[in-house]
Amino acid sequence: MKISLIEAQEHLERGSVIAASTDTVFGLLAKADCPSAIEEIYTIKGREKDKPFLVLLPGIEWVETYAKSISPLAKELMATFWPGPLTIIFEANLETVPSYLRREKKTIALRVPSHHLLTPLLALTGPLVAPSLNRAGEKPLEKVEDIENFLSKEFPLLYDDMPVGKEPSTLIEIKEEGFLIHREGAIPTNQLAKKLSPI
């Protein structure tokens, strides 16, 4: 069921899960401060409960809320590739990041997206958990009809006629001696290498 930006906000504020187009692939969205909605996404995806989801932020200034510290390397990456399809794994601030977001781990994956629907939505709702829209272990769904078959035609879906990417975000982890690439995605490794040298 196609919904508007305001309807998307209303669904999320009520503690519901929505589907949405993003600057990478279609995603399943829930408010980062709504554990019940996050658990619903685990059920929908059939994802292992010990694997945390990434968190989309409205802006770079939100990183300080979630990360224990922000290294010069992280600041350089954020300045270069955010907003955009780069997810960075930080050491989590255990005092401010609840265990249901971390799944008991000591890290948190963060991203500031660049998208004409997602950016204004984040401004309205605050941080959102946003894994790809697919069953765990399968490729992200690319077509609305496939999404409707997977979720149902009544499931709220925020999208328009703009094309959606076919690759997830590039996922990297900040280390003391550099960064480690966990998943190649929308930002190619060679593009990262032009800026910094991975370990």
pLDDT band at 175 (very low <50, low <70, confident <90, very high): confident
∠ Cα 149 151 154 (to 5°) = 95
At 137-166, the pLDDT tens digits run 999 999 999 999 999 999 999 999 888 888
**C-alpha distance across the termini of the chain, in Å:** 44
Q: Given pLDDT bands bounded at 50, 70 and 90, which one contains residue 196?
A: low
Summarised one tens digit per residue, pLDDT across range 20-59 is 999 999 999 999 999 999 999 999 999 999 999 999 999 9
pLDDT computed for residue 180 by the predictor: 87
pLDDT band per the 50, 70, 90 thresholds, residue 195: low
Domain residue spans of the chain: 5-195
Tell me: cis bond preceding 131? Omega within 30 of 0 counts.
no
Mean pLDDT of all residues in 180-194: 85
Calculate mean pLDDT across residues 14-25. Answer: 97
Strand order in the sheet with 27-31: 157-158, 18-20, 27-31, 128-129, 55-56, 107-111, 86-91, 170-175, 178-183
To the question of domain 5-195 being in CATH 3.90.870.10, the answer is yes
Q: What is the pLDDT of residues 82-138, one digit of tens each?
A: 999 999 999 999 999 999 999 999 999 999 999 999 999 999 999 999 999 999 999
> Nearest-CA neighbor of 167 among 40, 24, 53?
24
- pLDDT for 70 equals 93
In this prediction, residues 59-84 reach a mean pLDDT of 94
Q: What is the pTM of this model?
A: 0.94
Residue 177 has pLDDT above 80, yes or no: no
